[in-house]
Amino acid sequence: MPSHPRNLRRAGAIKVLLIVLGAIFAGFILICAGCLTLAYFKTKPLVAEGIRNTAATPLDSTELSQAQRDRIQACIDRIMTAVDNNKINVTQLGVIGEEMKSGRYHSLSLIEVARSRIAGLLQHDAKRSEDASSVIDRLARGVQQGRIGRDRLARVLDIVTTSNEVGDRASKTELTEVEAEDFLEAALKEVDRAEIPNEPYQVDLAGELEKILNKVLGGAPSGSPAESDGPEAASKTPASSESHKSSGE
């Protein structure tokens, strides 16, 4: 049958073509996998750096106690160590970043930075400085205890922050006296509306960050201070102790 060799040649050519196509497809898959792996390992440090910057926001505040600073820095070190040791993935980092920005931590950080800026503006007027500190204490308490809603808080923070195209807030580098007065007036309106007591309050900013990390990464690492018994525990006022109960609800 004269057509038999031709059919064999055709079948052989098809077989070779399939092998070549298979090799090309396999190579394409390997290249894509390599690109995705490369993108993953490049993305993770970038995400981690963004989280580090957000976590470090309150460190710009000169009013923050050293104990709070140390605990916040310990949290930052914990995140970066987990990244370096490949003990955290991009998804977990994303959850941490979202919890920080959408939760109380970032809002309280911005309030503390505003406190520092305003303290600098009013440093030569003891009475106004004391009144401002009282209003900001009440605002921080209302936020940490969940008694001032996000929309209402946003209108107050708009005065002392800037926002980018995706809505991420950052503290203004400098505040004018007019901005400081507008912020304090708006804050006073909200704390009065929410009936926040006019008494000293020490916000546990580090505790908010510790809760986020413990939620995503598990319990606090050995040797790190617990939320309720950090280095400041002995000096907490009754009002600040109440904040732990409320913030944990």
- Whether 161 is covered by a domain: the verdict is yes
- Whether 236 is covered by a domain: the verdict is no
Q: Do residues 82 and 207 make contact, with C-beta atoms less than 8 angstroms apart? A: no
For the chain, the 3-state helix, strand and coil shares in percent, each to the nearest 5, are 70, 0, 25
| Per-residue model confidence as pLDDT tens for the chain (249 residues) | 455 666 666 666 676 666 665 666 555 555 544 433 434 445 788 888 889 988 998 887 777 899 999 999 999 999 999 999 999 999 999 999 999 988 899 999 999 999 999 999 999 999 999 999 999 999 999 999 999 999 999 999 999 999 876 678 889 989 999 999 999 999 999 999 999 999 989 889 999 999 999 999 887 654 444 443 333 433 334 333 343 333 333
- Whether 142 is covered by a domain: the verdict is yes
- Whether 143 is covered by a domain: the verdict is yes
Q: Do residues 232 and 65 make contact, with C-beta atoms less than 8 angstroms apart? A: yes
Tally the domains of the chain: 1
- Whether 138 is covered by a domain: the verdict is yes
- Whether 71 is covered by a domain: the verdict is no
Q: Do residues 179 and 130 make contact, with C-beta atoms less than 8 angstroms apart? A: no
Q: Do residues 191 and 139 make contact, with C-beta atoms less than 8 angstroms apart? A: yes
> N- to C-terminal Cα distance for the chain?
87
- Whether 206 is covered by a domain: the verdict is no
| Residue 36, phi-psi category: left (phi > 0), alpha (psi -120 to 50), beta (remainder) | alpha
- The alpha carbon of residue 239 and the mean position of all alpha carbons in its chain are separated, in whole angstroms, by 25
- Whether 85 is covered by a domain: the verdict is no
The residues with which 170 forms a beta bridge, in sequence order, are 162
Cα–Cα–Cα angle for 243, 136, 129, rounded to 5 degrees: 135
Domain that holds residue 124: 104-193
